[in-house]
Amino acid sequence: MSRRALEGREKVLGPDHPDTLTSVDNLALLLQDLGRHGESETMSRRALEGREKVLGPDHPDTLTSVHNLASLLRALGRHGESETMSRRALEGREKVLGPDHPDTLTSLHNLASLLKDLGRHGKSETMFRRALEGEEKVLGPDHPNALLSVHNLAAVLEDHGKYDESEKMWGRALQAREKALGQEHDEVYKILKHLAGLYEKQRKYSQAEETYERGCTGFSKTLGKQHPTTLECIKKLTELQVTKSAAVRTSVIDTEVVINHVNDQRSLRDRLRELTWLRGRRGLGGGKSGKLL
C-alpha cells in the first residue's frame, strides 16, 4: 500500500510535491521496520533531499526526515553519522519548535540514547535528565515518553555506577508500568529483570533472587517456558544462586579464619605467659642459666 500511495502521488502530484515526499519518508520507515536497511536509507535520503529543496532545511518536515535518518544510521551502527544528524535534528527543532516541544524532546531523548551506546555516560545522563524534565512538564509524569526516559535514565545511571539513584529510577519505572499495565505484563517483567540485575551488582543477593524469580515466573506464564527470554532469565537466576552460595561459603570461611586467628593469638599469649612464669621460677631458685651455643 505504501508503494502504491507513493507511485500514485508521483504520477499525479510529481516527485517533489510535499505529499509525495511524505510518502517517500513513510516508505523509508516501513522498510526500516522490515529490516531492509539499504532500501530504507535510499528512501530516507531521497525524502530529506527533496524536503530540503522544496521546503527548506529548517522546515519541521525536513527536520523530521533528519531525525528519521539519524535513527536509521544508529540502527546500522554508523554512530558518527548518526550523531551528526541527531544534533542537527535537535538544534533545528529547538530553534523552530522550541525546547519544550514534544518533537524536540524526542530528538533530545534519541541523542541521549546514542551517547549511551557510545559509552559517554555523563553527557547521556545530562540529556536524559533534560528530556525527562521536559516530558514531565509538557506531557505529564505518566506519559509513555516520560516513562521511557525514566527507564533509560535508570539504565545509564546503572552503567555510570550510580546504583542507589538507579535503583530509585527502576523502582519508579516498575510502579508506573504496574499501574498502567497491571502486574502481569511483559514490560513489567522486563523491568524486574533489570532491577534484579542491579540488586546483584549491589550484592543484595536475596532481593535479586526474589526479583529474578518473579520475573522468570512471569515470563514463563506469558511467553512460555521455552521462550528465549524466559530461558535467559532462568540462566541469570541460576548464575545468581551459584554466586550467592559462593558468597555464603566465603563468609563462613572468613569467619573461621577470624576465629582461628583469634585462637592462635590466644594460644601465643598463653605460651608467652607460661615462658615468663618459668623464667621467674628459675630466678627464684638461683639456678644457672644455660648458655646457647
| pLDDT at residue 291, rounded to an integer | 37
CB 212, CB 196: distance < 8 Å: yes
Percentage, residues of the chain above pLDDT 70: 83
Residue 289 lies in a domain: no
User: Same domain for 88 and 211?
Assistant: no
Domain boundary among 199, 225, 250: 199
Query: Does 232 score more than 50 pLDDT?
Result: yes
76: domain CATH number is 1.25.40.10
- Whether residues 62 and 36 share a domain: the answer is yes
Q: Of 158, 179, 199, which residue constitutes the final position of a domain?
A: 199
Give yes or no: residues 150 and 223 share one domain.
no
User: For the segment 255-277, what is each residue's pLDDT rounded down to a tens digit?
Assistant: 344 344 445 555 555 655 655 55
- Nearest-angstrom CA–CA distance, 119 and 79: 12
- Are 236 and 112 contained in the same domain? no
Report yes or no on 190 lying in a domain: yes
Same domain, 195 and 54: yes
Grid coordinates standing for 243? 554466586
- Residues 267, 223: Cα–Cα separation, whole Å: 62
**Strands (DSSP E) found in the chain:** none
Last residue within a domain, chosen from 170, 199, 228 = 199
pTM of the model: 0.77
* Percent of the chain scoring above 90 in pLDDT: 69
Instruction: Flag the least confident range among 65-69, 157-161, 218-222, 254-258.
Output: 254-258
By CB neighbour count within 10 A (0-12 exposed, 13-18 middle, 19+ buried), where does 43 fall? buried
Which of 177, 58, 65, 155 is closest to 109 using CA atoms?
155
Residues 59 and 80 placed together within one structural domain of the fold: yes
Inside any domain, residue 85: yes
SS3 state of residue 16: coil
Degrees to nearest 5, angle at CA 58 with 53 and 59: 75
One domain, residues 30 and 167? yes
| Number of structural domains in the chain | 2
Task: Identify which has the larger pLDDT, 262 or 245.
Answer: 245
> Does a structural domain hold residue 33?
yes
Same domain, 184 and 245: no
Q: What is the pLDDT of the chain when averaged over all its residues?
A: 86
Q: Nine-digit cell at 26? A: 513513510
Same domain, 141 and 155: yes
Per-residue pLDDT at 173: 94
Are 192 and 186 contacting, i.e. CB atoms less than 8 angstroms apart?
no
pLDDT over threshold 50, residue 292: no
273 located within any domain: no
Which among 221, 227, 163, 222 has a CA at the least distance from the CA of 195? 163
Residues 157, 221: one domain? no
| Residue 269, in any domain of the structure | no
Least confident of 58-62, 110-114, 288-292: 288-292
Residue 215 CA to residue 230 CA, distance in Å, equals 9
CA dihedral 231, 233, 234, 240 (to 10 degrees): 150
Question: pLDDT, tens digit, for every residue of 56-75?
Answer: 999 999 999 999 999 999 99
Q: Which is more confident, 205 or 280?
A: 205
pLDDT band at 290 (very low <50, low <70, confident <90, very high): very low
Q: Which residue has the higher pLDDT, 201 or 289?
A: 201
Q: Is residue 210 part of a domain?
A: yes
The residue segments making up the domain with residue 242 are 200-262
Do 208 and 74 share a structural domain? no
